[in-house]
Copies of this chain bind each other. A is one copy, B any other.
Amino acid sequence: MKQIRLNAFDMNCVGHIQQGMWRHPRDRSTDYTKLDYWTGLARTLERGLFDGLFLADVLGVYDVFQGSSDAAIREAVQVPLGDPLLLIPAMAQATTHLSFGVTANLSYEPPFTFARRMSTLDHLTDGRIGWNIVTGYLDSAARAMGLDAQVAHDDRYDVADAYMDAVYKLWEGSWAPDAVQRNRTTGVFADPSRVRSVSHESAHFRMNGIHLCEPSPQRTPVLYQAGSSGRGRKFAATHAECVFVNGTSKSTVAPIVADIRKKAVAAGRKADDILIFVGATIVTGRTDEEAKEKLADYQRYASEDGALAHMCGSLGIDFSTYAPEDPITMVKTQAIVSNLEAIAKRPEGPQMTKKKLVESLVLGGRQKPIVGGPQTIADELIAWTTEADVDGFILARTVTPECFADFVDLVVPALQERGAYKTAYSDGALRQKLFAGGTSLLPDRHPAAARRGW
């Protein structure tokens, strides 16, 4: 049976996906500024043999709903928000196998310094780092960084392709595998003839220098990507090793998964060079009944305004101007186009309206929870892997960290009983853990390999 892969989904902030949960008496997300909060979470996830903790990020605020950022600030919708990279070293020190997928926006940092940050993390974690490649979707971020507005959606992916080429040169091509000698006797730390300056010149940026870091366990971090627009999928099929998709049903996600795998093969890669994760929110208890009671308890704290602030910001549309029966239709924006497509074009029911959309915000977010006891949840997760061909899940938090502790204590054993989940970590770097039989480095058929040349 397919071994289910698990990432926890979190963010260095209070409200992440399910808005309002911080008001629940047992929720601890308001402790996000404390290291103990994060090391405790990391230990819980490692106890449950999670493959990784995945950290989201944005660089602006959600200011589309009601034409201001007021609702986002009041309800703590991804603001305040700390840097995600800086959480990782302490969590890495507290764990041995858990990996860390970190979101970093390539639109606003030169490849040279960004490559150093990721290599440093890959060293310090002994190869447990992944990078979620994003290009941003908030105009507010672009303004904060000194632009008038963000670059148009598809153009952002052209910049991203150039950026990837630049960081591949640094990670894969600057230091030969035998460059570092660390030889106390000869006094040679590294052989200068095996270290070279790499350069990149494109319309988007210039770079000329040697990579500041010696080769880290994985060199290029495991590459994650979540874009599911047409252009986003093409980018993912070329570069990504793990892809996150969202979707309300197996039938809508299955063709997306098949398309990504097909595009990967067309790009000269193998269909299973890409692991596909689907976003999920799970509420569980010892029994189905207990899980339903828990859901009802959590629901009392859900924030509709918070959910709308988040959704409107990520779609670039202000639903506060819609009447209840107004239909949700496709509108061209420069934000996350595929999400709107998923809402507007849902095949499973009648035309989506503002009223129905609001009613669907069960826990303060657009992601509908899967609710049930351990066997119910295990059945549903396994059904996703067989019916939609996904490899695993990225689990959003509800009331945290109890939602993860519940999953670890109740669902993980049920999955293990079915033979659908590992009973121990395998050794090696993240890439070796994810792709059995491979090495810690990207395979030769990945485009990064073309930048080695030693």
Give residues in A with beta carbon < 8 Å to B: 12, 14-15, 20, 22-25, 30, 33-35, 39, 59-61, 68-71, 73-76, 79-83, 85-90, 92-94, 108-110, 112-113, 116-117, 119-121, 123-124, 140-141, 143-146, 175, 180, 182, 184, 187-192, 195, 205-210, 212-214, 216, 303
Contact = CB atoms under 8 A, between A and B. Distances in A.
Nearest to A105: B113
Contacts of A117: 83, 86
A74 B75 CA distance: 54
Q: Which of A76, A119, A175, A205 has the most CB of B within 10 A?
A: A76
Q: Which of A59, A146, A188 has the most CB of B within 10 A?
A: A146
Contacts of A60: 209
A85 B82 CA distance: 14
A82 B23 contact: no
A210 B69 contact: yes
Contacts of A33: 123-124, 214, 216
Given A113-B145, A207-B146, A74 B188 contact: yes
Contacts of A35: 89, 92-93, 124
A63 B207 CA distance: 16
A338 B106 CA distance: 37
Nearest to A12: B120
A209 B192 CA distance: 45
A431 B205 CA distance: 39
A109 B112 contact: no
5 contacts: A33-B216, A39-B93, A61-B210, A70-B192, A83-B117
Contact of A81 (B89, B108, B212): B212
Contacts of A74: 187-192
Top 7 A-B pairs, shortest CB-CB distance: A144-B209, A76-B189, A33-B123, A146-B206, A82-B120, A70-B192, A80-B214
A82 B60 CA distance: 28
A328 B16 CA distance: 60
Contacts of A22: 184, 189
Contacts of A83: 113, 116-117, 120
Contacts of A212: 59, 61, 79-82
Nearest to A37: B124
Contacts of A79: 210, 212
Nearest to A87: B89
Given A20-B187, A205-B146, A90 B124 contact: yes
Identical chains bound together, number: 2
B80 A190 contact: yes
Given A34-B124, A184-B23, A110 B145 contact: yes
A124 B189 CA distance: 35
Contacts of A188: 74
A146 to B, nearest CB: 4
A421 to B, nearest CB: 29
B187 A82 contact: no
A149 B69 CA distance: 40
A93 B88 CA distance: 12
A27 to B, nearest CB: 9
A130 to B, nearest CB: 15
A175 B192 CA distance: 49
Nearest to A124: B35
Nearest to A24: B184
Given A79-B210, A108-B113, A141-B209, 10 more contacts: A20-B187, A30-B189, A74-B189, A83-B113, A83-B116, A87-B89, A140-B209, A144-B207, A146-B208, A187-B303
Q: Which of A35, A68, A108 has the most CB of B within 10 A?
A: A35
Contacts of A144: 112, 207-209
B116 A82 contact: yes
A145 B182 CA distance: 28
Contacts of A81: 116, 212-213
B75 A187 contact: yes
A116 to B, nearest CB: 5
Given A74-B190, A117-B86, A146 B110 contact: yes
